[in-house]
Structure 1
Amino acid sequence: MNFYSFGRWISRVSQHPVTRSFQRTMATAGEGSGSDSTGKLNRLASEKSPYLLQHASNPVDWYPWSEEAFSVAKRENKLIFLSVGYSTCHWCHVMERESFENPDIAKIMNANFINVKVDREERPDVDKVYMTFVTASSGRGGWPMSVFLTPDLVPVAGGTYFPPEDRFGRSGFGTVLKSLSQKWKEDEGKFKESGKKIMEVLDRTSRLSLSAQSDLPGEEAIARCYAQLSRSYEPQYGGFGESPKFPQPANFNFLFTYYALNPDQDDAKKSLEMALFTLKKMDQGGIHDHVAQGFARYSTDERWHVPHFEKMLYDQAQLTCSYLDAYVITGQSRFAEVVKDILTYVTRDLSHPCGGFYSAEDADSLPTHDAKEKREGAFCVWTYEEINQLLAVPVKEGHDTTLANVFCHHFSVAEGGNVNPYQDPHDELKNQNVLIEHSSIEETGEEFGLSEEECKAALTKSCQILYDIRQKRPKPHLDDKMLTSWNGMMLGAMARAGVILGEKSYIERAIQAADFVKTYLFKDGLLLRSAYSMEDGQVSVGSCLEGFVDDYAWMIRAFLNLYEATLDTSWLELAEELQDKENELFWDTQEAGYFMTKAGDSSILLRIKEDQDGAEPSANSVSVGNLLRLSPLLDRADYREKAEAIFQLFAERLNKIPIALPEMTTALLIHKKHPVQIILAGKKGTDATQKMLQAVHGHLIPSRVILLADENHESLLYNRHSSLRHYHPKKPDETVAHVCQNFRCSLPVSNPEQLEETLNNPCFVVE
């Protein structure tokens, strides 16, 4: 039985009377969607996670995920109620306000269940096991995730968001709690029997096995990925699928790579068009914060207009890379401006003084300082009257047009608001405007008799005025948890931006973040999962929770990017050290591929391998790309063999539904090409070397390998590549570049212009 038939299996196998009863009860509940409470603090008050701390004053007797909770459940023979979410989750806030702060519901929970709260970002291993169950048994998942477990941690019922009371024919949370508690007391044996069968099937269906076929996935998988993306592409506004629309940067990565490796093919040109058009529409849309920079999580409509206003670090990091790729391919300055916009937001609002990056900003906030209830988007939206009052000054002396006239026209600000009521089911955005560009700056200027420069200056001034006003509003909650994996994403993106845009400050910021990781999140050769900001500006690592496979995968990619941006081989040495540790801790020696978790934690019932590239590409997809980059850099054939084993493990999925793994399919594209070796003979850090390096990064060459021949024969690269001893600059202050592919090399060049000409020669980038 495969994983996708598990839902059908549930309906056939779970036919015990008690199972049918609680399934009917759970099926009538809602699906996935703080506020402050008073009173006694519960056990979560001693935790570090911002999400757990949000629930520390709930009347629910919460436990963190711990042996203490499991022991109490066994001793008292009670079901465990497991609630999983994260601190910027809108519907988590709703369920907290409606149920977990409700004394009557809390009383039922405390009397009948052992209640456990988990931050999904802190414990992705716990989240993955039970989300696999919830998704397989109900066909849908989301947060908050609500799961009922036996004292042995076996799931027996689950869902997402539950309303507090019965409504519209749907059972409320109180009803579900009472029903399950009663049935557990009446016949716990049938619960356990059903749970055992569920776990057997989950264990079987969550396993991936090596394909019997000997051939690796090839051109068919790549062509199918393009075809599936093309079919799902929405040509009017860009993006893949209808509303809600998510950025999906892994799709852009595939499309740009496909184009870069096949620039003359018609479908590759179409790939480029789809990616560029979507990125332009996202830039213009409300998903892009035109006043305070950065991008929201997703758009609730097809036009990228009304966002879910939450901002996540991982989106900022991945979109930085997407817009960098767009800039490298097209040379259009607007894409570079968007990159700078994102990084302005991250360095200003998501940065710890010691160098780490915070996780997220909430969608919800108080509309005014004396308001009692938070609203989604309150921090970001504007009424027509506000705009006209705040921007009621002339664009320039002697001109009747005001800043408000220009701003309202350019950003589609309307009297009565510009939000479709269908995108605002709770009337939180009534009479409000979400800024969206409907014309270019040049077109807006023409509308008011302004030059493009004058119009741009007017809009910039207006945005600054509104930004200053926004800073006086109640701010949304900041999740200042610093995750290793997301920090790896962001510092890797910073490093790329620095070398591509020639912005030294970005590289310095990336190095600061890398030093933060080495100082706080790298202990005894192991990565830790997370660090936490303290009130005094210091950093805590909490209980020193060890890192998961995604922490290693993203930090390896980050250190590779830092090496390529600086040519400092110490980052390459760290990347190799972490790759070997990842292989040791997470590699499946029986079937290949990487587990999410290392062995040994008895509270994790399944060791699962992620098999889908979602909002974050899976660790296996990121890792296979890392292995393919490291193998030629370090002359490690074993890394390439592991990459091929991963392709083999995921062969069936890559051949049938590669759209589920676009990041891995991108790696497959690169695997099919001979590496392009770019050898820079010169001194690290000199002006000549940096200019050559920037020329290299000015081309999207997915299979490139950058080697520095600096005559330091003791360095890592010289130890792995004896041929580097043959490359020397002609003059002490000169850097000479050699471009080689498939045992052929170009003539050496000694200036960036010549290197540009060489790299534009397709014979060195497509074979």
Structure 2
Amino acid sequence: MSATPATRRPNRLIGSTSPYLRQHAHQPVDWYPWGPEALQRAVREDRPILLSVGYSACHWCHVMAHESFEDPELARRMNDLFVCIKVDREERPDIDQVYQTACQILTGQGGWPLTVFLTPDLLPYYAGTYFPPRPRLGRPGFGQVLEACARAYRERREEVRQQAQRLARAVQEVLDPTAALAERRAGPDAGPGPTSQALVAAADALLHQADAEAGGFGGAPKFPHATGLALLERVAWRFGHAAAREHLLLTLERMALGGLFDQVGGGFHRYTVDRWWQVPHFEKMLYDNALLVPLYVRAGRGPRPDLLRVAAAALDFMLETMRLPDGGFACSLDADSPGPDGRPQEGYYYRWSPEQVREAVGDAALSEEVCRAFGIGPGAGDAFERRAPDGPPGWSEEALTVVGHVPGLPRPEFGRLRHALARMKAYRERSRRPPARDDKVLTGWHALAISALVAGWQGGAGGEPERYRQAAEAGWAFLCERLQDGSHGLLHVPPDGERVVPAFADDYAFAIHAALDLFRCTQERRYLEEAVQLAEQAEHRLAREGVYLTSSEAHASPLARAVDIWDQATPSPNAAMASAHARLAACLDDPTYLERGLRVIEMAWPVMRQHVSGTAGLWRALDDLDGGMAFVSVQAPRLEAVREALRRLLRLPHPALDVRWVPDPGEVRWQLCLGTRCLAPERDSTALLRWLEPQQGGAGERP
């Protein structure tokens, strides 16, 4: 008889700081965390490695854990045949990136949970994602996979090694494309060099993938793609690109009204399973909310004032739900939450029946208005499993139970529904157990949250924007105190005893942006100085041949240190770094930083020209470096003398504006620089406004 989770001795994951790893600490699998103990055992015993990679908010990771890793027989076979290693992909994105690439090469697809079989010297020879415990729908059972992979290594050792070596070389070529990029850049088909004048064509290429009815890009599943939306915003602003502006605003509206956005408690879910933004995959990620907030703030300060409430609701969600007592920001919320029987159900916390709405709101007429506005109808209790069709969902007996506006219904009047939604939030909090939160703090995501808070404060979101400033400054203090180390520099996660994970390239890039955002709005010189220190650390630890490696030598990343130029849910590390250098060049009046940023763009240019959707972050960085960024310098004897004028300037919804106060005993002088050209100094800031207002003409650049 096997031990129950309550009586079974915990495995080696019990002492981990990662909530995801601790979720596996009471399983019968003899799990190791990634580290010397596991890797040395594999070599010593000449035993293959079973590597399992996932993250706390991953629904299918939980499914495979319950079905297979908690099964005593499957766990016995895992322990007998392999050295079993668990990795939290958010703690070690470099390990995940290497073996995720191997899985994609082998199978044509990737995802999580990621299951990879390695030789003792870490060469991958078989990989997949979710495996059911028994054969199902054409998928082999996990037990079959275990036996086949162990037998292949035992009986066909040389063949397995040769295949693994070929796969490892292919992985290395994908992860470090610098040689291939340099060759293409110098080849006869290189074409013209990078220039921001090509931005309009890039936006047009992105709009070819746009969903003109539902907003966003492509079909189901539908992700926010915040970096692509930010590129449309930039082109609309600078070049007056009407189609880019219209699609941006359509997408922001549809996401904000649909089930992607938690209408009751605020915050965006990760994606929807349908193209209409109706039925979410219910996990909530810190980075999605942090990246979307500035877009909603600027839209709310510009053509769509109604969208400012969405920014405020997302920021309030971040402060109320994701902020930790010490000022750090947690990573994510799970998709699953306990149902009435205590067992996890996907999205249970967010789903509503008409009866529950009436019980929560207490007013029959107001309850009916909520149900009518959000498409909650009779029979909705079983309708969640019926995913939204490809056409616009409408009012029916099978209305979805999530609270999101259904296209075709009268648009909700949120002013009228505000009290009803507040009562539903209170009802939900007292009657349901919330999803589990991953309390791990990741430096890059934490920095994105700081930037979002600064955007909310700068844009005057919510009733008390000053609290966003306080939270942003407290978040930066947390970063300085808990996420830096004297010998390792910036860290990826807070240190855990002797275990220290140095920062990755995106940690550095997003932290530099957060420091510069705080400098822009406070004019406290220390933030600029800290941004410079971080930039120099990154240059020393990560720069190579004009681009930035994802990891440093201290990470000992397997097989290869990647050079990442592709956007994922966040802008690519090289894109964020290039943009950060453009800002540093302006703030410091130092062309060294401009040259660093341009080197990144020049290296990536052959790929950027052909693959706009995957490199939107690099296109925005190119615009920052080539005239798209506005920099205001004001000379004044005292900051207080110009603070109100600076506040008015910063309230403009400009997508790339930085400012600097220069103490000077003379009279006040304002100067605006656009890229590498500066306008004549002015005595009054109002003279700059015509340059900082959005371009409203056709597709030509502003004068």
* TM-score normalised over the length of structure 1: 0.83
Change (3 A) 1:738 1:750: same
**Contact 1:482 1:530 (C-alpha < 8 Å) held by counterparts:** yes
| 434-443 vs 249-258, which moves further | 434-443
Give the alignment partner of residue 543 of structure 1, picking from 492, 499, 502.
499
Structure 2 residue identity aligned to 1:415: P
Structure 2 residue identity aligned to 1:58: Q
Q: Report the equivalent of 1:275.
A: 248
Q: Whose relative contact order is higher, 1 or 2, with alpha carbons under 8 Å and at least 6 apart?
A: 2
Give the alignment partner of residue 739 of structure 1, picking from 672, 696, 699.
672
Quote the offset at 1:180 in angstroms.
1.3
Q: Report the equivalent of 2:207.
A: 230
Pairing of 1:118-137 with structure 2 (within 5 A): 118-137=87-106
RMSD, aligned α-carbons:
2.7
SS of residue matched to 1:232? coil
Quote the offset at 1:758 in angstroms.
6.1
**Residue 40 in structure 1 maps to residue 2 in structure 2:** no
Structure 1 residue identity aligned to 2:528: L
Change (3 A) 1:758 1:83: closer
Quote the offset at 1:531 in angstroms.
2.9
Deviation digits for residues 49-76 of structure 1, max 9, x if unmatched? 0000000001000000011001111111
Structure 2 residue identity aligned to 1:696: L
Give the alignment partner of residue 630 of structure 1, picking from 572, 581, 584.
584
**Contact 1:746 1:758 (C-alpha < 8 Å) held by counterparts:** no
Deviation digits for residues 364-400 of structure 1, max 9, x if unmatched? 01112xx242110001101122223333425xxxxxx
**Contact 2:176 2:560 (C-alpha < 8 Å) held by counterparts:** no
Runs of 5+ unmatched residues, structure 2: 390-396
Aligned length: 675
SS of residue matched to 2:125? strand
Q: Report the equivalent of 1:9.
A: none
SS of residue matched to 1:531? coil
Q: Report the equivalent of 1:10.
A: none
Deviation digits for residues 699-719 of structure 1, max 9, x if unmatched? 3445544221223xxxxxxxx
**Residue 423 in structure 1 maps to residue 423 in structure 2:** no
CA distance in structure 2 between the aligned counterparts of 1:48 and 1:670, rounded to whole angstroms: 38
Give the alignment partner of residue 643 of structure 2, picking from 690, 693, 696.
690
Structure 2 residue identity aligned to 1:409: R
Structure 2 residue identity aligned to 1:577: Q
Q: Report the equivalent of 2:161.
A: 192
Quote the offset at 1:582 in angstroms.
0.4
Structure 1 residue identity aligned to 2:24: H
CA distance in structure 2 between the aligned counterparts of 1:430 and 1:377, rounded to whole angstroms: 17
CA distance in structure 2 between the aligned counterparts of 1:436 and 1:761, rounded to whole angstroms: 31
Change (3 A) 1:632 1:106: same
Quote the offset at 1:632 in angstroms.
2.2
CA distance in structure 1 between the aligned counterparts of 2:18 and 2:694, rounded to whole angstroms: 52
**Contact 2:274 2:388 (C-alpha < 8 Å) held by counterparts:** no
**Residue 433 in structure 1 maps to residue 406 in structure 2:** no
CA distance in structure 2 between the aligned counterparts of 1:694 and 1:36, rounded to whole angstroms: 57
Pairing of 1:260-339 with structure 2 (within 5 A): 260-263=237-240, 268-330=241-303, 332-339=304-311
**Contact 2:298 2:654 (C-alpha < 8 Å) held by counterparts:** no
Quote the offset at 1:639 in angstroms.
1.5
Structure 2 residue identity aligned to 1:271: A
Give the alignment partner of residue 452 of structure 2, picking from 493, 501, 525.
493
Runs of 5+ unmatched residues, structure 1: 1-34, 395-401, 445-451, 533-539, 712-726, 731-735
SS of residue matched to 2:248? helix
**Contact 1:285 1:304 (C-alpha < 8 Å) held by counterparts:** yes
CA distance in structure 2 between the aligned counterparts of 1:234 and 1:562, rounded to whole angstroms: 36
Structure 2 residue identity aligned to 1:357: F
Give the alignment partner of residue 748 of structure 1, picking from 678, 682, 688.
682
CA distance in structure 2 between the aligned counterparts of 1:692 and 1:746, rounded to whole angstroms: 18
CA distance in structure 2 between the aligned counterparts of 1:560 and 1:568, rounded to whole angstroms: 10
Structure 1 residue identity aligned to 2:321: D
Structure 2 residue identity aligned to 1:192: R
CA distance in structure 1 between the aligned counterparts of 2:629 and 2:316, rounded to whole angstroms: 34
Give the alignment partner of residue 344 of structure 1, picking from 316, 336, 342.
316
Q: Report the equivalent of 2:393.
A: none
Quote the offset at 1:690 in angstroms.
2.9
Give the alignment partner of residue 336 of structure 2, picking from 364, 380, 383.
364
SS of residue matched to 2:85? strand
* TM-score normalised over the length of structure 2: 0.91
**Contact 2:216 2:251 (C-alpha < 8 Å) held by counterparts:** yes
Structure 2 residue identity aligned to 1:663: G
Change (3 A) 1:281 1:443: closer
Q: Report the equivalent of 1:249.
A: 226
Change (3 A) 1:233 1:575: same
CA distance in structure 2 between the aligned counterparts of 1:705 and 1:606, rounded to whole angstroms: 37
Structure 2 residue identity aligned to 1:391: V
**Contact 2:502 2:554 (C-alpha < 8 Å) held by counterparts:** no
Q: Report the equivalent of 1:504.
A: 466
Structure 2 residue identity aligned to 1:243: A
Structure 2 residue identity aligned to 1:530: V
CA distance in structure 1 between the aligned counterparts of 2:315 and 2:637, rounded to whole angstroms: 30
Q: Report the equivalent of 2:663.
A: 710
SS of residue matched to 2:642? helix
CA distance in structure 1 between the aligned counterparts of 2:528 and 2:216, rounded to whole angstroms: 36
Pairing of 1:63-212 with structure 2 (within 5 A): 63-208=32-177, 209=179, 210=182, 211-212=185-186
Change (3 A) 1:405 1:205: closer
Give the structure with higher Rg (CA).
1
CA distance in structure 1 between the aligned counterparts of 2:475 and 2:70, rounded to whole angstroms: 38
**Contact 1:521 1:541 (C-alpha < 8 Å) held by counterparts:** no
Give the alignment partner of residue 569 of structure 1, picking from 501, 525, 546.
525
**Contact 2:269 2:281 (C-alpha < 8 Å) held by counterparts:** yes
SS of residue matched to 1:295? coil
**Contact 2:350 2:403 (C-alpha < 8 Å) held by counterparts:** no
Q: Report the equivalent of 2:440.
A: 481
CA distance in structure 2 between the aligned counterparts of 1:599 and 1:744, rounded to whole angstroms: 41
Give the alignment partner of residue 460 of structure 1, picking from 404, 413, 418.
418
CA distance in structure 2 between the aligned counterparts of 1:683 and 1:64, rounded to whole angstroms: 57
Identity among equivalent pairs (%): 30
| 98-107 vs 676-685, which moves further | 676-685
CA distance in structure 2 between the aligned counterparts of 1:346 and 1:573, rounded to whole angstroms: 28
Give the alignment partner of residue 558 of structure 1, picking from 504, 514, 519.
514
Quote the offset at 1:314 in angstroms.
0.2
Structure 2 residue identity aligned to 1:632: A
Structure 2 residue identity aligned to 1:527: L
**Contact 1:37 1:101 (C-alpha < 8 Å) held by counterparts:** no
